[in-house]
Amino acid sequence: MKEKFKDRYITLALFFIAFGIAIVYQLVDLQIVNGKKYYEDSRYVTQKEREVIAPRGNIYDRNGVPIATNKQAFSLHIVRTEMGNSEFNDMIFQLVNVMEKNGDKFESTLDKYLTFDPISFNNQSEEKIAKWQKDVLGVKEADIMKTPQKVFEFLRNKKFEIDKKYTDEEAYKIMRVRHEILLEKWKFDTGNSICLAKSISWETVAEIEEKNHIFRGISTDVEPIRQYINAKDVAHILGYVRPISAEEYKELREEGYKNDDIIGKTGIEKQAERYLRGKNGRKKVGVDANGVLTVDGIGGEPAIPGNDVVLTIDMKLQKVAAESLKNRIDWIRGLGGEKNFGDADAGAVVVQDVNTGEILAMASYPSYEPSIFLAPSDDKEAQQAIIDLNDPEKKDSSEFNRAIQGIYAPGSTFKPITAIAALEEGIITPDKQILDSGSLTVPGNRTLRCLEYPVHGHGYLDLKKALETSCNIYFYDIGMNTTIDKIDKWAKYFGLGEYTGIDLPNETKGIRANRENKQKLYKNRVDQMWRPVNTAMTSIGQDDNAFTPIQMVNYISTLANGGKRYTPHLIKRVLKYDGSIVNETVPQYEQIPVKQSTIDAVKKGMIGVTTSIDGTAKEAFKDFPFEVAGKTGTAETGRESTQSSNAWFVAYAPADNPQVAIAVVVEKGVWGSYAAYIARDVLTEYFKLDGSAKIDDNVEPFEPVFTR
């Protein structure tokens, strides 16, 4: 009997020992072996994903000088946690106080519709206010509120249920934040993160992190922010980025864009968007039982930076082009003179490598500071600058890129085309003498005058002399004998009045004066016939001829290199973030059927423009160390009784071994010879010559006789 009891005690003891060992094992596993894992698991009530913003690709000039890069900035995020409405509003208000104390601000789209002090609709149409109430606030059509006070009360009392302990001003601050969450309601309700503010200070970050038990669901992160470096001189090439519009989102959402993405709007930022845009990553966000966020150690997918874009632009040359253009315009305005109304105010310069089609500089004046588009919405100075940007009454800045969008009659810079057509079609030889007696009567009884009339004409001229003196009578004569159809054929060969294919958005095509375009332009007029006087005026670059500076520089480049019409380009190569080449632009050209003897004959006349005693640009290029082949143009606008003519200068250099072509236009620049000084400044920088053509404020105004 005693043996049986003894066995039972032993069995029971063994059971308790085994049970104890199991408990100890579980405790060791729970607290020591897998303690950290179980601790972390116990903390996470939910796990959601937050997007990691990919850095946008950088933009550099041809020498690696940065133009557009990114800086790291702190951003503020929120995810949904279990809080009552009153508690949530209290937390938001405390968050606002922290931000304001540290000089940080929330950007809120509520400001677009409803403002405080006084409470009013912010210059929005009645239709937009109604649409906002329906689409965002969820107001029914029949309940649309007509006064800002009623909307304010609706948001305070019904939509966000803000406690009466808050003043109206305090309530409005809460509304601004709640409105941003409301815009992203679906994301917020499904537990995803919403960005509330960007570029917040370190002081704000530290305080939020320190008080994470108060700011439940609130976290900070580091995100890349676009920045531009000394970009005003290159603004029209660079462009800028801004939040995606509703129309753009509708078009691009299938490509993975979101309705709060930043996107290139103009310039290279837009043209190279598919390269510059990176691929966003993901990281998980854990929310513990207390509503405190953590993102450490949960895994995710890293962001992939966008590709870098290297431009063909040389920033040093670009700066010289931009500064010379501005300074010379001021200089021209101050010169005075009978035909100078002192109204020169805008222009463009384009420099092209004649052997590759690369654009080395492209300046448009007036310019603007692209960084204004990166400023927060509460930066009133920047927002006003954006408003002023394209105001015709504000002449200090403009988004209009005159280099590819402005079209101007070319004036006498078109005469080499007329000469090429006449030579190629066998109408003249380089040595053929044509008499300029001072006037020429064309069929229809129209008499056209020489610029020296009524004193005298130029007498007999060959092609070289006609180009260097820019004799209109000579070109009237050979133009009418060549005929408009053949002149038009050769103008088209050289790309005038056609898209060049430059890798920038919104290029303008321009217009060639010809029979077809006359009918299109004057279809409502009785007389649409092409007449000899039209051919005569076209021959000197007038009539309906209107071309862009990019077309003009490409035409001169084609002339310089022997007839290779390149597609001009600004993107040299695209590099992956690891330095490997994604894409490199291969120069593309079309060989036009122009004889070298024709080019040589025109070249002699263009050299005479800058070197001969009668040359129309001899003053600008006197003492220049090598010969430049150029052509001035003073293009009449038909408003010469009240404003100055436009000034053109085109050239390539060196004349005996062409490397670069240049086109300069100055709106209301008076004489083409004035524009030649800008070309000299640019060529001096390009060839690194000692001493440029300095502006002399004491120069007497002069009115060259032969500048057409």
Question: Cis omega before residue 224 (within 30°)?
Answer: no
Strand-pairing partners, residue 98, are none
As a whole number, mean pLDDT of residues 527-541 equals 92
- Count CB-CB contacts under 10 A for residue 336: 12
Q: Is the pLDDT of residue 606 over 90?
A: yes
pTM for the full predicted model: 0.85
Task: Pull the structure tokens for residue 23.
Answer: 């408990």
pLDDT digits (tens, 9 = 90+) for 549-580: 999 999 999 999 999 999 999 999 999 988 89
Domains and CATH numbers, the chain: 81-190 (no CATH), 315-372+401-686 (3.40.710.10)
Band (694; pLDDT cuts 50, 70, 90): very low
The pLDDT confidence band at residue 12, using thresholds 50, 70 and 90, is low
Alpha carbon distance, N-terminus to C-terminus of the chain: 136
The answer on pLDDT for 4 being more than 70 is no
Closest CA to 538 of 509, 508, 566, 497: 497
User: Quick check: 150 pLDDT over 50?
Assistant: yes
Share of the chain above pLDDT 70, in %: 87
Provide the pLDDT for residue 287.
Answer: 60
Task: Give the C-alpha separation, 143 to 159, whole Å.
Answer: 14
List pLDDT tens digits, range 368-390: 999 999 987 777 888 888 888 87
pLDDT tens digits, one per residue of 221-273: 888 999 999 999 999 999 999 988 888 988 998 998 887 789 999 999 999 99
Query: What does the H/E/C string look like for 370-432?
Result: HHHHHCCCCCHHHHHHHHHCCCCCCCCCCCCCHHHHCCECCHHHHHHHHHHHHHHCCCCCCCC
Rounded to the nearest integer, the mean pLDDT of the chain is 89
Q: Does residue 34 have a pLDDT over 80?
A: no
Give the residue, 296 or 305, on which the prediction is more confident.
305
Contacts of 122 (CB under 8 A, 6+ apart): 111, 112, 113, 114, 115
Q: What is residue 50's predicted lDDT score, i.e. its pLDDT?
A: 72
Q: Sheet containing 660-667: which strands, arranged edge to edge?
A: 359-365, 346-353, 660-667, 646-653, 629-635
CB 684 within 8 A of CB 321: no
Verify whether residue 364 is a known catalytic residue.
Answer: no
454: how many CB neighbours lie within 10 A of its CB? 9
**Cα torsion at 272, 274, 275, 277 (round to 10°)?**
110
pLDDT for 366 equals 96
| Angle at alpha carbon of residue 571, lines to 570 and 575, rounded to 5° | 160
Predicted local distance difference test score (pLDDT) of residue 31 = 60
pLDDT reported for residue 264: 96
Residue 706 has what pLDDT?
38
Residues 6+ apart with CB under 8 A from 212: 218, 292, 293
Residue 696 pLDDT > 50: no
Of 412, 557, 644, 673, which residue is the catalytic one?
A: 412
Which band of pLDDT confidence, cut at 50, 70 and 90, is reported for residue 438? confident
β-pair partners for 2: none
